[in-house]
Amino acid sequence: MKFCAKCGKELQDDARFCGGCGSGMEVISVSKNEATFGSPPLSLDAPPTPVPTPKSGSKTKIIIGLVLAILIVAGGFWGWQNFGTEARMQAKLDLAVKYLSENDYEKAILAFNDAIKIDPKEVKAYQGLAKVYTLEGKYDEAKAAYEQGIASVVDKDKRNLQLSLAGMYIDQDNLSEAEKSFLAIKGSDPKCWEACWGLALIYQLQGNPNKGGTILSQYENDNLDDYRAYNMFAAHLKKYGESKNALISLIWSIKLNINQQEAYLLLKEFSPSDILTAITDLDNQNAAGMLQFYSYYMIEDYGQALSVYKEKLKKQKDNQKVHILAATAMVKTGDQNGASSVIGSLNEGILNDSLFRDLAEYYHTVGDDEKARQYAIKALQANQTNLEALALLQSLNSENAKTYAAQALVNNWKPIKKIREAARILNIQLPDTSAIKEMAVNTPKGQSSNSSSKVVKKSIDHSLDWDIMQAVSSNYVDRVKQLLADGADPNAKDDTDTTVLQKASYWGNLDCCKLLLAAGANVNSKNNLGGTPLSDAVSTGKADVVLLLLDSGANVNSRDYFGMTPLDHATNSEVKSILLKHGAKHGTLR
């Protein structure tokens, strides 16, 4: 039997065309017993086309596909579970910090312990737990928390706990154990600047600052590409009377990192004339220009600062700091459009915590405190221990400032005593640290009992004098008030015989001047060049301070060692008028 291949009509055996559709014959022969309705016509003249069977490679692909599907499902479940673990752990950490900010130490301890149970390798949980125990004065428990953390966390997180443990020993006044800990860290990592900082502090507290200076000097020599090395040594040199060398170290620091924060804070301890003299032969023009700009900026001579900016610094792309400060200076001089243009050109993606802090200050100057808060928080998110940013955030009355203060305390490896000391200068409110004793200098070994009290008192007074110098330079009025109550000398001098009143007068910090005068500061004190508080206030055009000093008995015609009187230093018309009304005359050089 034959059928048409096109339409399936049954045909005669000798037919050449289909009678149904007219197609030429392509026929399929089947036996009647194999022809079924609806089935495609099959040829029995040729062997049937075999049904394809999976090859071995196909089987492998199928197996691999199944395995991958299983892994994806399992990985998704694991990822979801891991995400859930991280979220629960972070929630506990946040809760612990909240309790800490409220001084509820018992609940903070419970929350940190809960975080450790969720993730036994979480370094912040151990750090926080140990810090809270330290705040309570429970040093054995704090030590146990640190040691448990060091044994549990991954290797890269061990160092921070080791440093924090060493810092805790300082809070405990166990300086010998602190020294051993920092030496062990330094031995395993000679480039650990934190260990050198800690050792220098210990030797200072032991009454041996020269040994600390040697440590910092050696670290600077061994790490010439680390700007922090220069900052540490500069702070030490300045504190112990070597201003010239301190300034040299700061210049090197800024050459290495022009966008930092710490060196510029330390520069406020120097006069613009000192800075300008020091950079006379500086070969790095970028750093020289920045230092020249900043020497004017920090005394609020914004016109001079902007002249330097436009001439030397405006085209510098890497120096983001100068653009932010220049924009602030433009706002101060009434050029809001110019300031907005400069800020709009910044590449925010490359800014660090210091520059976010500068931006926060810029927006505060503009009057946009909401943006100021946002950038202060960005600075703290980039570096939770940035106390300058925290100080600004608290001054803006931010609702979450207390939380950030608690985080700054928990996440900082330094001794709580030093954090508290810095916080006081910046007028920062930290969680309660009253259980920890004040920083004190020990009597050097071998010191006789008859003279030990004198040595300790001299060292403590020196520390207070250093603190009050810093506080008046930054106009931290409450801190000045507290330091005077604690026994700081209102006539304290630096190594150039410049008194604390001269510092306050130079910066135009009126309230600080009032406090110092009320405490007995000498209104006619002189430095090693014969300058007085009045001549300093006149030179920087601080009219309100000039009036205060004159009303307090300042000699309007006091001469310096060059024969110049305050009137010779006056460039501000209002100040000149005040002086002349009080009988001012020019000196012998006129």
> CA-CA distances (angstroms) from residue 538 to 104, 214, 267?
51, 40, 21
What is the CB neighbour count within 10 angstroms for residue 3?
17
- pLDDT of 231-277, one tens digit each? 999 999 988 888 889 999 999 999 999 999 999 999 988 888 888 88
- Residues 355-381 have a mean pLDDT of 96
Q: Which amino acid is at 249?
A: S
**Type and span of the H or E element at 11:** strand 10-11
DSSP category for residue 28: E
Of 323, 265, 321, 324, residue with least CA distance to 298: 265
What is the CB neighbour count within 10 angstroms for residue 201?
23
**Domain enclosing residue 20, as ranges:** 1-46
Bridge partners (DSSP) of residue 4 are 27
CA distance 250 to 551: 38
- Is residue 218 in a domain? no
DSSP category for residue 590: -
- Is residue 566 in a domain? yes
C-beta of residue 313 within 8 angstroms of C-beta of residue 251: no
C-beta of residue 264 within 8 angstroms of C-beta of residue 295: no
Q: Residue 398: its pLDDT value, please?
A: 87
Q: Residue 541: its pLDDT value, please?
A: 85
C-beta of residue 235 within 8 angstroms of C-beta of residue 469: no
Of 391, 414, 352, residue with least CA distance to 227: 352
- Is residue 37 in a domain? yes
- pLDDT of 196-231, one tens digit each? 999 999 999 998 999 999 999 999 999 999 999 999
Of the two residues 254 and 569, the one the predictor is more confident about is 254
Q: Residue 363: its pLDDT value, please?
A: 97
The gap from C-alpha 267 to its chain's centroid, in whole angstroms, comes to 18
Of 302-316, 453-467, 548-562, the range with the lowest mean pLDDT is 453-467
**Type and span of the H or E element at 491:** none
CA distance 587 to 452: 48
Distant-in-sequence, close-in-space partners of 551: CB < 8 Å, separation ≥ 6: none
- Is residue 474 in a domain? yes
CA distance 464 to 483: 7
SS3 24: strand
% of the chain beyond a pLDDT of 70:
81
pTM above 0.95, yes or no: no
- Identify which of 358-372, 461-475, 518-532, 537-551 has the greatest average pLDDT: 358-372
- pLDDT tops 90 at residue 111: yes
Indicate the pLDDT class of residue 78, thresholds 50, 70 and 90. Answer: low
- pLDDT of 366-378, one tens digit each? 999 999 999 999 9
**Type and span of the H or E element at 64:** helix 56-101
- Is residue 161 in a domain? no
- Is residue 534 in a domain? yes
Q: Residue 444: its pLDDT value, please?
A: 42
For the chain, how far is it from start to end, CA to CA, in angstroms?
137
Of 11, 16, 50, 17, residue with least CA distance to 29: 11
Cα radius of gyration rounded to whole Å, the chain:
38
Indicate if the alpha-carbon torsion angle 231, 236, 238, 239 is positive or negative.
positive
Count of structural domains, the chain: 2
The mean pLDDT of the chain is 84
- Is residue 529 in a domain? yes
**If you count them, how many residues does the chain have?**
590
Of the two residues 26 and 472, the one the predictor is more confident about is 472
- pLDDT of 477-509, one tens digit each? 888 888 899 888 999 987 678 899 998 998 888
Of 343, 337, 340, residue with least CA distance to 358: 343
- pLDDT of 278-308, one tens digit each? 888 777 888 899 999 999 998 888 999 999 9
Q: Residue 399: its pLDDT value, please?
A: 85
Tokens of residue 289, six digits? 């220009």
- Is residue 379 in a domain? no
Q: According to DSSP H, which parts of 367-489 are helical?
A: 369-382, 387-395, 401-410, 416-425, 449-473, 477-485
Domain containing 487 — which CATH number? 1.25.40.20
SS3 17: strand
C-beta of residue 541 within 8 angstroms of C-beta of residue 518: no
The gap from C-alpha 349 to its chain's centroid, in whole angstroms, comes to 16
